Amino acid sequence: MCQLLAMNSKNPADIGFSFAGFRARGGLTDDHIDGFGIAYFEPTGLRLYYDNRAAMDSPLAELVSQTRVKAANTIVHIRKSDDQLLCNAHPFTREIWGEAWVFSHNGKMTIRDASDSDPINQATGKQGKSSHYIPVGDTDSEFAFCYLLNQLKDRFEHKPDSQTLYVFLTEQCRFLANYGLFNCLLSNGEWMLAYADTLLFHITRQAPFGSASLIDVDVTMDFETVNDADDVMTILATTPLTDDEEWQQLAVNECIIFADGHKVYQDLPKSPVYLSIEKGLEIAKNA
Amino acid sequence: MCQLLAMNSKNPADIGFSFAGFRARGGLTDDHIDGFGIAYFEPTGLRLYYDNRAAMDSPLAELVSQTRVKAANTIVHIRKSDDQLLCNAHPFTREIWGEAWVFSHNGKMTIRDASDSDPINQATGKQGKSSHYIPVGDTDSEFAFCYLLNQLKDRFEHKPDSQTLYVFLTEQCRFLANYGLFNCLLSNGEWMLAYADTLLFHITRQAPFGSASLIDVDVTMDFETVNDADDVMTILATTPLTDDEEWQQLAVNECIIFADGHKVYQDLPKSPVYLSIEKGLEIAKNA
């Protein structure tokens, strides 16, 4: 299994504090040691690092720790898997409509084993059919990302308006969740989509800023000292990174999209179910 | 203008020696300071770093200098331009037929200014037409890469045999060279294509290995000590990196493809023209 971290903010912001705690789960406080990656949407373009080493051992992760990159959208992934292939490291990226999109997945799916007649295989090129996006590696995650993009490109010749796009993306995430465990993060640099199948939490920080302490490492941050009055940022993580703030949980099958640090779209099931962290981790372990 | 460096080898090899000299041209011995990037095709996947900083200043370039990554195909680019946008940093990558392809360009073209009725705009999405690949940044280089891939995907539903592919790629490079100065490197991880419009040199090293000294920095390497008897590698560079080896020059409009360190395809014009380095640099400066 893997874990996810993301930040969406009004002004470009540094994910360093959250990363310090999250990175520890890649070999120190947890065993997500089969890869690491980070995608920053900087003001002038996408900066993407990925490695097939554990976050705690990766020279790239060390570089991330030492530099203060500011981005309006950032996605981080630590991987636990049966392989350490570089082609399978998250986040994945593809261009659609002239935009760089980035995707990371936490879960285990069965879409690569689906029969040729299964709907999932009609748009992925598995049968050699003409399609826009074909996986390079052999993960279900990249397969799901390619499926999603093929659906988008087949359905919309041009980028649709935001509301149409958000509804369509939510439908596609719900469809993909039928194939197993599917928590995901997706961003085009403007917005950040979070879809929860089991565990995903978020917290929004804005003025008046407080302080918080990380769970995984002994670090406390006073956000007042590093932010301006109009800064707003939302952090997303598989499980909370701090133990003295109130993180909000996404319900099972909930989809939320953030822009400028705020929630701009939410599709919450009518009878929302919230798993305990213990239950969520147990499902992940048994997947 | 920019400069290009590449290596194609039989066994995964470390480009560190060549990189030491080439990097210096990104701020020390030359002024290609508006970006830096490197793409390694490692045995398990593509590792791609790019930065909008000068190679001499980039923490990523420093990481490259300190680590010994072994790859069968490596492309490096140092950029000189009017902007330092991250989205314009080379090398560019896109997936085609389930493979990651990487492209770098040295030159200056006018394809972004071409009229809507110009052939170059029929497959690039400039007019909003349906197309597979659309540039994310605003360089002619990425535009040319997208054009090339759109032509490939429109022409071949599946990856064609190597000979068909090589001939087609050469035709496309010749077509693109009509739009300005176009030296390029292209690789899918199996082979390395080099197309020269003005300056591009190559050298193949194999047993019995000798030694060589870099031009840009005071470093000498005895290749015997770092290679096995069956190692074969070809280095490509805009201008030679060493002054005590015999580099071969590509002719104007020549296309060569290397695999396993050897030349596997060559399209040499009937009356080959070889520019002097002075003349080539002058053309670049005036472009």
Catalytic residue among B2, B173, B184, B255: B2
Mean pLDDT for chain B? 94
Chains A, B: CB pairs < 8 Å: 80
* A134, closest residue in chain B (CA to CA): B98
> DSSP string spanning chain B?
--EEEEEEEEEEEE-HHHHHHHHHTBTTSSB--S-EEEEEEETTEEEEEEESS-TTT-HHHHHHHHS--EEEEEEEEE---S---GGGPSPEEEEETTEEEEEEEES-B-GGGS-TTSGGGSSSSTTS---S---SS--HHHHHHHHHHHHHHHH-SS---HHHHHHHHHHHHHHHGGGB--EEEEE-SSEEEEE-SS--EEEEEESSP-EEEBSSSS-EEEGGGT--TT-EEEEEESS-SBSSS-PEEPPTT-EEEEETTEEEEEE--SS-----HHHHHHHHHH-
pLDDT attached to residue A129: 52
Q: What is the mean pLDDT of residues A123-127?
A: 58
Residues B30, B209 contacting (CB under 8 angstroms):
no
A257-to-A166, A174, A244 alpha-carbon distances in Å: 8, 15, 25
Write out chain B residues lying below 8 Å of A52, CB-based. Answer: 44-45
CB contact under 8 A, B95 and A134: yes
Percent over 90 (pLDDT), chain A: 89
Which residues in chain A have Cβ-Cβ distances shorter than 8 Å to B158? 128
Instruction: Collect all residues of chain B within an 8 Å Cβ-Cβ radius of residue A36.
Output: none
Dig out the tokens for B1 from the structure.
Answer: 């203008």
- pLDDT level of residue B32 (50, 70, 90 thresholds): very high
Number of domains in chain B: 1
Verify whether the Cβ–Cβ distance B63 to A67 is below 8 Å.
no
Per-residue pLDDT reduced to its tens digit, A183-197: 999 999 999 999 999
Residue A123 has pLDDT above 70, yes or no: no
- Rounded distance between C-alpha atoms, residue B127 and residue B146, angstroms: 14
pLDDT at res. B31: 94
Residue A285, pLDDT score: 87
Q: What is the pLDDT of residues A247-286, one digit of tens each?
A: 999 999 999 999 999 999 999 999 999 999 999 999 998 8
Which range has the worst mean pLDDT, A119-128, B79-88, B137-146, B195-204?
A119-128
Domain that holds residue B246: 3-286
Q: Which residue of A has its CA nearest to B130?
A: A157
Whether the per-residue pLDDT at B130 is higher than 60: the answer is: no
Residues of chain B with pLDDT > 90: what percent? 89
Kind and range of the H or E element at A60?
A: helix A59-66
- Whichever domain contains B232, its CATH number is 3.60.20.10
In angstroms, what is the C-alpha Rg of chain A?
Answer: 18
**Predicted local confidence at residue A117, as pLDDT:** 82
Q: Which of A45, A50, A86 sits opposite B85 (nearest CB)?
A: A45
Could you say which of A45, A50, A158 has the minimum Cβ distance to residue B87? A45
Contact B63 A66 (CB under 8 A): no
pLDDT computed for residue B123 by the predictor: 61
Averaged pLDDT score across all residues of chain A: 94
Complex ipTM > 0.85: yes
Q: Are A92 and A101 in contact (CB under 8 A)?
A: no
Mean pLDDT of B152-157: 90
pLDDT tens digits, one per residue of A8-42: 999 999 999 999 999 999 999 999 999 999 999 99
Using an 8 Å CB-CB cutoff, list residues of chain B that contact chain A: 42, 44-52, 59-60, 63, 66-67, 84-89, 94-95, 97-100, 125, 128, 130, 132-137, 157-158
Written as six digits, the tokens of B161 are: 């045999």
Block residue for tokens 């203060």: A68
Considering only the beta carbons, identify the residue of A67, A97, A98 that sits closest to B59: A67
A125 pLDDT band, cuts 50/70/90, is low
* Smallest CA–CA distance from A143 into chain B, residue: B98
